[in-house]
Amino acid sequence: MREFGSWWLVAFCGALVACGEIHGKSNVDDGGVGSDDGASVACTASATLRCDANTLVSCNADGTAEVQRACGLRCDPTALACEDKVDPSNGFAAQLDAAATEPSVNITANTNVDMDNGFNAANGTLAVGTLQVKAVLVAGTGGAPSVIVVSVGGLSVAANRTLTFGGQPGAPAIAIMSAGDVSIDGTLVMINAGSMTGNDPCMGASTAAAGADNDNPGGGGGGFAQPGGAGGAVVAVANGGAGGANSGTAPLIPLRGGCSGGKNSFGGLGIGGGAIQITSGTQIVVAGVIGANGLGGAVSTGGGSGGGILLEAPAVSLTGGAYANGGGGGCGSLSGSTGGNGDLSTTPALGDICTNGVHGGSGGAGTTPPTNGGAKANTAGTTDYAGGGGGAVGRIRINTVDMTITGSGAQSPPASLGTIVGR
């Protein structure tokens, strides 16, 4: 009986050896010495083996143990490689890398940044208050505006303080590359700069005087993430201008803002919202407000569409608000004021309402589309004006390591979510 038992044990152990490698119980990184219980681990020397969540498991140099490396961002199971750094959208990796040696920018007083005149190409800086921040001008692609890309160690905007980036239509957009945390406790707004110009299909259609009395139909509202509102007609004389088309891309590649509303010979002001990208190598926390809203039109012209806001970091918290709302259209009278500018809320901007009752269209906000401008009945012997269409919402994009954000802050329009790219 003992002889049978010995034979069985030998055969069983032999089968174990024939089945393959014998692994130790622990995979703790010991610098390649071996597993912590002293058992050997047979593997191909220096080979990468697998991803365990965000840990890359490899074989040591002599093939005797598995070693682990925690990846800075994520472990790519297809390439079997660590991604340790954020690769920013729109090709700004060099500027993010340069941010590692730059100081942080802390906004503790209301600060206006002039995107038309604040950039010094010779020195490679942008004036932010009293600071000269490292910056470079990058040409836009596909008709998008140029972008001033700044590199900072970190960025904070204190509560009850506002950091404003502004410029004329056609001024560069802004991209902030931060090595460390970005914290917006106050307000950060982008006005006009980075908005689209020229003949982009998102522009609201302009109108010309028509008929014997030089009547003025309304201009169309600017479009972006949705079409703009149509301008009102002067009934039996001329139709209003069409709203601008849906355009651009959800990921905001290339980075761009909104579009202006259509004009007539008397009106204007319905400028599209600007464009801003904030990329952090660590996290973005928005307890305050970020806005890139369109402006209201005047005298029968369309409102501008909301702009573009792109936030990306391994982790993003939004407990405040992010807004890219459209502006309201101008009303049908020379005596009117202007349509409402896009608001830092989820409430649509109202079109202007003249004493003759001919209103401009409301701007888009949240998931509510813009409305058309009011029509005007033709009155013989009188120059009549119809209302301009409302501007559409812009685009908000948030990229994180896992396509999720924390916090239930307001988003107008709702942000599209993406996965941050690593390298």
In the sheet that holds 66-70, the strands lie side by side as 48-52, 55-59, 66-70
Question: Is pLDDT of 331 > 50?
Answer: yes
pLDDT for 161 equals 98
pLDDT tens figures, 14-35: 333 333 333 333 344 444 434 4
> Chain-wide mean pLDDT for the chain?
90
| DSSP per-residue letters across 294-327 | PPPPBTTPPPPPP-EEEEE-SEEEESSEEE-PPP
Hey, which bits of 249-368 come out as E strands? Answer: 275-280, 283-286, 289-291, 308-312, 315-318, 321-323
Sequence-distant (≥ 6) Cβ neighbours of residue 191 within 8 angstroms: 164, 165, 166, 167, 273, 274
Q: What percent of the chain shows pLDDT beyond 70?
A: 91
Kindly report the number of other CB atoms within 10 A of residue 421's CB atom.
15
Over residues 362-381, the mean pLDDT reads: 96
Q: Look at 165 and 264; give whichever has higher pLDDT.
A: 165
- Please tell me whether residue 173 adopts helix, strand or coil conformation: strand
Whole-prediction pTM value? 0.88
Q: Which of 327, 337, 264 has the alpha carbon at shortest distance from 301?
A: 264
Mean pLDDT of 270-282: 97
- The token pair that represents 248 in the structure block: 């651009």
Residue 349: pLDDT above 80?
A: yes
At position 10, the amino acid (one-letter code) is V
Please state, as a whole number, how many other Cβ atoms lie within 10 Å of the Cβ of residue 129. Answer: 15
* Residue 40 confidence (pLDDT): 63
Cα 102 to chain centroid distance, Å, stands at 23
Task: Give the pLDDT confidence score for residue 321 in this predicted structure.
Answer: 98
> For every residue of 188-239, which 3-state class applies, written as one string?
EEEECCCCCCCCCCCCCCCCCCECCCCEECCCCCCCCCCCCCCCCCECCCEC
End-to-end CA distance of the chain: 64
User: Would you say 399 and 416 are in contact if contact means Cβ atoms under 8 Å apart?
Assistant: no
Q: Where are the alpha helices (DSSP H) in 25-110?
A: 93-98
- In the predicted structure, residue 214 carries a pLDDT above the cut 90: yes
**Is the four-CA dihedral 206, 197, 162, 180 of positive or negative sign?**
positive
pLDDT category of residue 9 using cuts at 50, 70 and 90: very low
Judged by DSSP in three states, 68 sits in: strand
Q: What is the pLDDT of residue 266?
A: 76
H-helix segments, 58-139:
93-98
Among 12-16, 61-65, 80-84, 221-225, which stretch is predicted with the lowest mean pLDDT? Answer: 12-16
Q: Examine the pLDDT at 304 and tell me if it is beyond 50.
A: yes
